[in-house]
Structure 1
Amino acid sequence: MLIKYVVASLFRVTWGFLLAAALAIPLGLMIGYYRRAEMAFNPIIQILRPISPLAWIPIAILWFGVGDLAAVFLIFLGSFLPLLLTAISAAQSVPAVYVNAGRNFGLRPTRLLSRIFYPAVLPQLIVGLRITLGIAWLVVVAAEMIAVNSGLGFLIVDARNAGNRYDLVAAGMVIIGVIGLLLDMGMRSIEKVRSLRWGYSED
Structure 2
Amino acid sequence: MKKILNIRYAVVSIILLLAVWEIAFLLSDYSSALFPSPLMAFKALGEMVVSGQLWESILTSMRRFLIGYGLSVLAAVLLGLLLGCFGEIFKYINPLLQVLRPISPTAWMPFVVLLVGIGDLPAIVIIFIAAFFPVLLTTASAVGKIDPIYFRVSRNFGIRQPALLWKVILPAIFPSIANAMHVSLGSAWIFLVAGEMVGAQSGLGYQIIDARNNVRADYLLATILVIGLIGLFLDFVIGRVEKRINKAWGGE
TM-score with structure 2 setting the length: 0.75
Percent identity over the alignment is: 40
**What amino acid does structure 2 have at the position aligned with 1:88?**
A
Indicate the residue corresponding to 2:83 in structure 1: 31
2:121 to 57, 65, 69: 69
Alpha-carbon distance in 1 for matches of 2:87, 2:99: 19
Indicate the residue corresponding to 1:7 in structure 2: 59
Q: After TM superposition, list the pairs within 5 Å mapping 1:51-130 onto structure 2.
A: 51-130=103-182
Q: Aligned-pair distance for 1:127?
A: 2.0
**What amino acid does structure 2 have at the position aligned with 1:90?**
A
Asked whether the 8 Å contact 1:30–1:37 carries over to 2, the reply is no
Asked whether the 8 Å contact 1:17–1:133 carries over to 2, the reply is yes
Indicate the residue corresponding to 1:21 in structure 2: 73
Indicate the residue corresponding to 2:234 in structure 1: 183
**What amino acid does structure 1 have at the position aligned with 2:243?**
K
Alpha-carbon distance in 2 for matches of 1:111, 1:166: 56
Q: Aligned-pair distance for 1:133?
A: 1.3
- Classify the secondary structure of the residue corresponding to 1:106: coil
Asked whether the 8 Å contact 2:83–2:90 carries over to 1, the reply is yes
Asked whether the 8 Å contact 2:84–2:90 carries over to 1, the reply is yes
Asked whether the 8 Å contact 1:74–1:139 carries over to 2, the reply is yes
Structure 2 unaligned segments of length 5 or more: list them: 1-52
1:170 to 216, 221, 228: 221
Q: Aligned-pair distance for 1:33?
A: 1.9
**What amino acid does structure 2 have at the position aligned with 1:180?**
G
Task: Compare 42-51 and 106-115 and name the one that shifted more.
Answer: 106-115
Task: Compare 59-68 and 31-40 and name the one that shifted more.
Answer: 31-40
Alpha-carbon distance in 1 for matches of 2:186, 2:152: 36
Alpha-carbon displacement from aligned partner over 1:3-53 (angstroms, at most 9, x marks no partner): 111111111111111111121111011111211121121121011011110
Indicate the residue corresponding to 1:156 in structure 2: 208
Q: Whose radius of gyration is greater, 1 or 2?
A: 2
Count of residue pairs the alignment pairs up: 200
1:194 aligns with 2:219: no
**What amino acid does structure 2 have at the position aligned with 1:161?**
N
Alpha-carbon distance in 1 for matches of 2:131, 2:209: 24
**What amino acid does structure 2 have at the position aligned with 1:138?**
I
- Classify the secondary structure of the residue corresponding to 1:109: coil
Q: After TM superposition, list the pairs within 5 Å mapping 1:137-152 onto structure 2.
A: 137-152=189-204
Please, what is the CA RMSD of the aligned residues? Answer: 1.5
Alpha-carbon distance in 1 for matches of 2:74, 2:167: 21
Q: Following superposition, which runs of at least 4 residues in structure 1 exceed 6 angstroms of deviation?
A: none
Asked whether the 8 Å contact 1:9–1:140 carries over to 2, the reply is yes
- Classify the secondary structure of the residue corresponding to 2:202: coil
Indicate the residue corresponding to 1:44 in structure 2: 96
Alpha-carbon distance in 2 for matches of 1:60, 1:146: 11
Alpha-carbon distance in 1 for matches of 2:68, 2:59: 14
Q: Aligned-pair distance for 1:199?
A: 4.0
Structure 1 unaligned segments of length 5 or more: list them: none
Q: Aligned-pair distance for 1:87?
A: 1.0
**What amino acid does structure 2 have at the position aligned with 1:81?**
F
